[in-house]
Amino acid sequence: MMTDTISDDGDDGMTRRTVLAAGAATAAGLATAKGVEAAPSGQKTPPPPMPVTLKVNGKDRSLSLDPRTTLLDALREHLHLTGTKKGCDHGQCGACTVIVDGRRINSCLTLAVMHDGDAVTTIEGLGTPDDLHPMQKAFVTHDGYQCGYCTPGQICSAVSVLREIEAGVPSHASADLMDIAFSDAEVRERMSGNICRCAAYPNIIAAIRDVAGKARA
Ligand code: FES
Ligand code: FES
């Protein structure tokens, strides 16, 4: 088998060092030719912080945030409201659901700076241990949770679901778009973005039905 070796002092006038240098120069030339430039020196510098004021659970909270901060991280890491949970961080589980200006959203999918001036309600703002929101009470009464990790998101979603139905907002399960009424099918469809790995679904539905005043005899 033939091997190509280049000595450090090749008698053809080419040393290992000159070969390596030539290779590096060629690679750099190709990269430039393809428009692949070295990263600009400032690229790794974080963007300057931006001021943002959120009305969280009724109180104005002013923050200075990296504009890439999600609303979820602003709540948990900067305001230490850890009731809102991070599950997937990709908009797939609903654990991070909060209510912004009356509508539920996945707080992991939105940037905090996009909500300057908005009213944000988290699970801490719905009720307190001494004064539970009716939905929180119903989840306790109906055992609507097991490990509880998904529960804050489930409750924020459930509160919004009842408001949506009351406001006549249709869902994929609505048979008549002009006549939106409470039903288990409506609730299941509307709560489908809130995943419960403990599978407490029947009890969650029972809790929501209870608060809606639709408890079955
Ligand atoms: S953490 Fe936001 S949807 Fe899962
Ligand atoms: S209660 Fe455990 S994930 Fe829902």
Pick the atom of ligand 1 nearest to 92's CA. 3
Fold of 48-126: Ubiquitin-like (UB roll) (3.10.20)
Q: Is the CB of 198 under 6 A from ligand 2?
A: yes
Q: Is the CB of 197 under 6 A from ligand 1?
A: no
Burial of residue 108 (CB within 10 Å: 0-12, 13-18, 19+) is: buried
Cα Dmax for the chain = 99
Q: Is the CB of 195 under 6 A from ligand 2?
A: no
pLDDT at 217: 38
Residue 102 has pLDDT above 90, yes or no: yes
Side by side, the strands of the sheet bearing 50-56 are 59-65, 50-56, 119-121, 97-100, 103-106
The DSSP 8-state label assigned to residue 114 in this structure reads G
- Is the entire prediction scored with pTM above 0.85? no
Pairing of strands 50-56, 119-121: parallel
CATH 3.10.20.30 positions along the chain are 48-126
Taking each helix axis from N to C terminus, what angle separates 134-141 and 151-166, rounded to the nearest 10 degrees? Answer: 120
Give domain 127-217's CATH number out of 1.10.150.120, 1.10.10.10, 2.40.37.10, 3.30.390.50: 1.10.150.120
pLDDT at 44: 80
Instruction: Residue 121: count other Cβ atoms within 10 Å of its Cβ.
Output: 20
Going by pLDDT thresholds of 50, 70 and 90, the confidence category of residue 199 is: very high
149-173 confidence digits (pLDDT tens): 999 999 999 999 999 999 999 999 9
CATH 1.10.150.120 positions along the chain are 127-217
What's the mean pLDDT when you consider all of the chain?
A: 86
